[in-house]
Chain A
Amino acid sequence: DDASAPTSAPTTSDESQIRTVFDDPNNFNVKHPLMNTWTLWFTKPPSGKGDNWNELLKEVISFDSVEEFWGIYNNITPTSDLALKSDYHLFKKGVRPEWEDSQNKHGGKWAFQFKEKKAVNIDALWLHVMLAAIGENLEDEDDNEVMGVVVNVRRGFYRIGLWTRTVGKALPGDAGKGRTFEQGKETLMKIGRRFKAALQLKDNEMVEFSGHTDAAHAGSTRAKAKLTV
């Protein structure tokens, strides 16, 4: 029909026509944008020779489309194959997955430990949590709470966590947003319930929230939970 179309292109691939990866995985011309750019990080298990945390925490790659996510996911070591003391972290770009990051230091996390390691499909669970994060199913657009998600591989358990920017309190930079502590807490509870749904947990399997500084002061991540869903 169009005589000016490049002759090398297949007859069906008019450039003005939308071609998704489902139409042609080798010659698509549109990709699905994510709301945020996400960065995947990896924590290497310590070698036992006194390595410092900064050398163990590595930035792997950042991405901002659905297609790119799957290219990465399909070509990276599955969680079930990772050595003990490894972590994957999937965080919004610009936020380091550490308590000390300025955007995390007033925050906390929802977390659940899977103690029966052989009984759970950790690869599917971690995938579903990542999809809930990048698909923006964990928070509503103005919540501005989700910082990232993390999976920890340990001897006795897998743990999946969701880091939030606050513990419900308004932060100094948030002046004017007019969110009361009760409203902030309700936002965290809503995010916790969605996180629990993404993990496909039963009602009686409780997901617990703790502030990062509580955990820091307790000297471990086993801080006492403030909220549960």
Chain B
Amino acid sequence: DTNKPVEPAQPTAGMQALKSARFLQVRNESVIYPEGIKSPNPALNQGTKSKGRQYDKDFLLQFKDVFKEKPSVDWDMKVKETVGDGSGDSARPSTGR
């Protein structure tokens, strides 16, 4: 039997939160962001047809250091299969991150 029993990796709290969170109704719900966090530029979402899903760069950049969860428990393997680790065919040794 070559199938060694491997403990399946458990999704993190952040992964589960992302999965179970509902979509904010950007136009109809006013969010009070914590102090120091800027709201999306309201001017972007005032068009009558806008669904309220336009975000300016400064708003989006605030998430960069806040949400760092991998999309799934098998993400690293998926990246390795598709994108690789960037070493390509070069002589650079692959580094286990």
Chain A residues packing against B (C-beta within 8 Å) = 18, 20-35, 42, 44-45, 47, 58-61, 63, 65-78, 81-84, 86, 128, 131-132, 134-137, 141-142, 198
CA distance A128 to B13 in the complex (A): 28
Jot down 27 A-B pairs with beta carbons below 8 A, ordered by A.
A18-B32, A20-B24, A21-B17, A22-B37, A22-B66, A26-B12, A29-B21, A30-B31, A31-B18, A31-B23, A35-B51, A35-B53, A47-B89, A60-B78, A60-B79, A63-B71, A70-B63, A70-B68, A71-B14, A71-B69, A75-B68, A75-B71, A135-B56, A137-B54, A141-B49, A142-B49, A198-B57
The answer, yes or no, to whether B86 is at the interface (CB within 8 Å) is yes
A18-B24, A33-B24, A35-B54 given as contacts; is B13 within 8 A of A26 (CB)?
Answer: yes
**Residue of chain A at shortest CB distance from B55:** A135
Q: In the bound complex, do residue A42 and residue B33 qualify as a contact, i.e. CB atoms below 8 Å apart?
A: no
Q: In the bound complex, do residue A84 and residue B83 qualify as a contact, i.e. CB atoms below 8 Å apart?
A: no
B18 to chain A, nearest CB (A): 6
Q: Which of A75, A84, A128 contacts B75 (CB 8 A)?
A: A75
**Residue of chain B at shortest CB distance from A23:** B34
Q: In the bound complex, do residue B67 and residue A71 qualify as a contact, i.e. CB atoms below 8 Å apart?
A: yes
CA distance A136 to B59 in the complex (A): 13
Q: In the bound complex, do residue A83 and residue B87 qualify as a contact, i.e. CB atoms below 8 Å apart?
A: yes
Q: In the bound complex, do residue A77 and residue B75 qualify as a contact, i.e. CB atoms below 8 Å apart?
A: no
Q: In the bound complex, do residue B68 and residue A71 qualify as a contact, i.e. CB atoms below 8 Å apart?
A: yes
Question: For B21, what are the chain A residues with a Cβ–Cβ distance below 8 Å?
Answer: 28-31, 65, 67
Q: In the bound complex, do residue B86 and residue A82 qualify as a contact, i.e. CB atoms below 8 Å apart?
A: yes
